[in-house]
Structure 1
Amino acid sequence: MRLYLLALNPTDSVTEGFLPAAGRLSLDVTVLTDQPDAHRARYPDVEILECDVRDVRAVIRRISTHHRPDAVFTNSDHLQTQAALAAVYFGLPAKDWRAALRTKDKAEMRRRLAAAGVDTVWSAEITEPAALDAPYPCVVKPREGVASEDVVLVGYAEELVTCSKEILDRRPGAVLVVEEYLPGELYTLETLGDQDVRHVLGGFHTEVSPPPYFIEESLTFVPAHPEPVVAGVLEQLDALGVGFGACHTEFVVHAGRARLIEVNYRAIGDQCDLLLARLLGIPLFEHILRTHLGEPLPADLGARSDGAARVDYPCADRAGLLTDAPAATELTVDDVHLTYRPLRAVGERHALYRTNRDYLGVLRAVGTDQPAVDRVSAEFLAARRWEIQP
């Protein structure tokens, strides 16, 4: 059976998660990408074809002139609609392309939720700097952005003008969404569904940097959110048409009410998916691929319920040259399994992005006791150094 996997830049989710899972499922894999050299450098034994994957017509044409597909899949935020449309074209299982579009377009998501009567958030779209009569403080962000890039909290109209000009200068032709700030603790809900059933895999409590930016600094696993919170999130996902395959939903809880921040219609990234598979003890990546092959999910995934985990991201606080940093490490301390992976090589010089591109590394910790997981993680990070020189 042949799997076509659409991708932009290489990611750990694909390299360490989906490609090995495809191998265990004995799938023939063809990667379609607009960055073929980068992918060949990461996995030279996989068939890689160059394709303008942002254009669904190019994707369909490339597949039609190659081998017959059994599944068309992507874990990219930017390519969900294209993958869904291509899969539908070939008569294959797929996410609803309309749901993929609604979740990618943050303004359309707000309109859809309001029209369904499940939540109304003040929002507006701008293509040039503007002093809006908005409910300040408010958040400005790219309409189709990812990873908290250019997501900023602004306190008044003049600050909105300045901030939006800076973002639009970096992103010519972009559309920005300005929306009311939603207070509350930030959480995620991770779901996995087929055509008939949707499993809730738990979620995370996310710690973010101080305002005005929203850099995710650490995530702590939450085995089960309160039932009313889960019900509120699922009601909003239903209104968007989301259910098939993997979905990573970010939301805040304020006064007991769950309100969506954004919906990423894919598996959670930044190595949290790798942690989730180990923590739950399930073949997570195989399950996701099987849904796109048309196979039903088991009624019981057999996930462990005794796990505790967290992910920490040592983050650059200044621009400059990384001159010293710890190497990749894997060890067990007090029954807590630690996996550290560097994300920036010693000798690299970077600007300060105020996004997850400032991450220097990622520490994954899995155990059965949350205080022990927290303590061992903190001790590991405190014993390491990351040196950045101007």
Structure 2
Amino acid sequence: MADSQPLHLLIVSGGRDLPDRARDASAGLRTTVICRPEVVPRLRSREKIQRLIVLREDAPEDEWVAAARFVHAVDPVDRLTNFTEKDTEKTAAIGAALGLTWHSTETVRAVADKAEMRRRLASAGLGDVVAEVVHDVEGVLKVGERTGYPLICKPVRGVASKGVTRIDGPADIERALAWGATGAGDLDSPELMVEPFLTGEEYSVEAVSEDGEHLVVGVTRKISEPVHFVEVGHVVPAPLPTEDAERIGAAVRTALEALGVRQGVTHTEVIVAPETVHIVETHLRPAGDEIPELWARTTGVDLIEVVARQAVGRKVLDDVRAALGAPGDRPGAAAIWYACPDAVGEIVEVTGTDEARALNGVVDVEVLREPGKRLKGVTGSFARGAHVCAVGATQEEALLRAREGVRKISFTVRSSGMAERHEILAEHSG
């Protein structure tokens, strides 16, 4: 490629505003998108895309690679990325076929398949948690006999807390398998996994990797409801003693090394017991739930911007490290809390958002399920109704402000022909 020729970035799937951010990071950036039909309506700035290739939902991996080879033949591709959690194995296969830098096929497989991830982590000395792929009640019973109860049942390739259930004994197994199958229905694999229920405090770790070096940006406190483990709140930075934060960070760095991660922003979920840091799962993407925005407000590190810059080949680690070490007039903490209406029916009206925005410290209020949408109870992350973000001098102050904002919001839901108002209680305080 001539020095004057702008970069050509091949994007698999969509990425919301990330393609536009990548264009801002690389003057004249040219982009090609290969995606499924479902992604097309969500593509932003379509007029800026040089070419768009849409493959049917069930197109095999070889077809995705062939499409990328065609693009590369007519307009050589310089960089490859996938800003989402969909079709990552196809992206890795394209990278291997075209000789483009991205996560390896082995890394993507290990991260996507939770059972394989467990094997990789165990070989690196990170725990010996029994994790078995199960297909029926008998399979779960065998795990229960080996490890005892409670257990956790989840889709092997699950996202957004979909299909996750605690099993306290044999009587819960059929219900858990049915719930897991529902959660895995639109994922790349229908398989379910069972492992012992781990006890301890829940956190996530946001990190940036560059050329195999892993820098922890921070540890996020996670608050979940107790039945299906839907996340209802997050606080940054997590209120932790320095030594605990350091051992959590060390465990995550070891996990990323064991999984072969060399580049990118990662989001790793952990459960911390007095003697052990259990790695629950990791993701080759930034956190959801506005967590990157919380960290940007408290540290000045914009993790979404980091992703965009790395996509076009920019080095980022020195800038991230400098931002973390720079003094700034920023709030000491930030938090998000979710409105989780435990109702089933059609949303008729959502009120109280203006009152929530008017509260001291509240910086963002967003309705996630608008009138006309249906609620199905607290079934997964996509069932949450609204969120409130707030900042404060301390973690406690930020969290209290976010929860108070959620208390202002109420949903009117029509169920069985009758409209009922559901006020949101700030439960699950953790």
TM-score (norm 1): 0.88
Q: Match of 1:104, as an amino acid? A: A
**Residue in 2 aligned with 1:64?**
69
Q: Where do 5+ consecutive residues of structure 2 fail to align?
A: 1-6, 416-430
Change (3 A) 1:169 1:192: closer
Q: Say which of 33, 39, 43 aligns to 2:42.
A: 39
Change (3 A) 1:50 1:281: same
Distance 1:148 1:169 in 2: 12
* Partners of 1:148 and 1:356 within 8 A in 2: yes
With 93-102 and 267-276 compared, the bigger mean Cα shift is at: 267-276
Deviation at 1:156, TM superposition (A): 1.2
* Partners of 2:390 and 2:398 within 8 A in 1: yes
1:270 partnered with 2:289:
yes
* Partners of 1:325 and 1:387 within 8 A in 2: yes
* Partners of 1:149 and 1:355 within 8 A in 2: yes
**Residue in 2 aligned with 1:115?**
123
Distance 1:352 1:123 in 2: 29
Deviation at 1:380, TM superposition (A): 1.9
Distance 2:87 2:23 in 1: 23
Distance 1:36 1:169 in 2: 22
1:150-172 CA-partner distances (Å, limit 9, x unpaired): 11000112321342145337757
Q: Match of 2:382, as an amino acid? A: R
Change (3 A) 1:311 1:121: same
Helix, strand or coil at the partner of 2:323: coil
Deviation at 1:205, TM superposition (A): 0.6
1:230 partnered with 2:249:
yes
Distance 2:319 2:157 in 1: 35
Aligned counterparts, 1:60-139, within 5 A:
60-66=65-71, 67-130=75-138, 131-133=140-142, 134=144, 135-139=148-152
1:299 partnered with 2:337:
no
Distance 2:363 2:56 in 1: 38
**Residue in 2 aligned with 1:345?**
370
Aligned counterparts, 1:108-187, within 5 A:
108-130=116-138, 131-133=140-142, 134=144, 135-168=148-181, 174-187=190-203
Deviation at 1:43, TM superposition (A): 4.4
1:386 partnered with 2:411:
yes
**Residue in 1 aligned with 2:216?**
200
Q: Say which of 6, 13, 17 aligns to 2:12.
A: 6
* Partners of 1:193 and 1:297 within 8 A in 2: no
Distance 1:257 1:139 in 2: 18
Q: Match of 1:362, as an amino acid? A: H
Deviation at 1:87, TM superposition (A): 2.2
Q: Say which of 47, 50, 59 aligns to 2:54.
A: 50
* Partners of 1:189 and 1:204 within 8 A in 2: yes
Helix, strand or coil at the partner of 1:206: strand
CA RMSD of aligned residues (A): 2.7
Helix, strand or coil at the partner of 1:118: coil
Identity level (%)? 23
Helix, strand or coil at the partner of 1:203: strand
**Residue in 1 aligned with 2:308?**
289
* Partners of 2:89 and 2:109 within 8 A in 1: yes
**Residue in 2 aligned with 1:21?**
21
1:268-292 CA-partner distances (Å, limit 9, x unpaired): 1133234333443234333223334
**Residue in 2 aligned with 1:308?**
333
TM-score (norm 2): 0.80
1:103-154 CA-partner distances (Å, limit 9, x unpaired): 1101111112223332110121112332523121100111111111111000
**Residue in 1 aligned with 2:424?**
none
Change (3 A) 1:256 1:171: closer
Distance 2:23 2:177 in 1: 45
Q: Match of 1:202, as an amino acid? A: G
Aligned counterparts, 1:317-328, within 5 A:
317-326=342-351
Q: Match of 1:323, as an amino acid? A: V
Helix, strand or coil at the partner of 1:389: strand
* Partners of 2:266 and 2:287 within 8 A in 1: yes
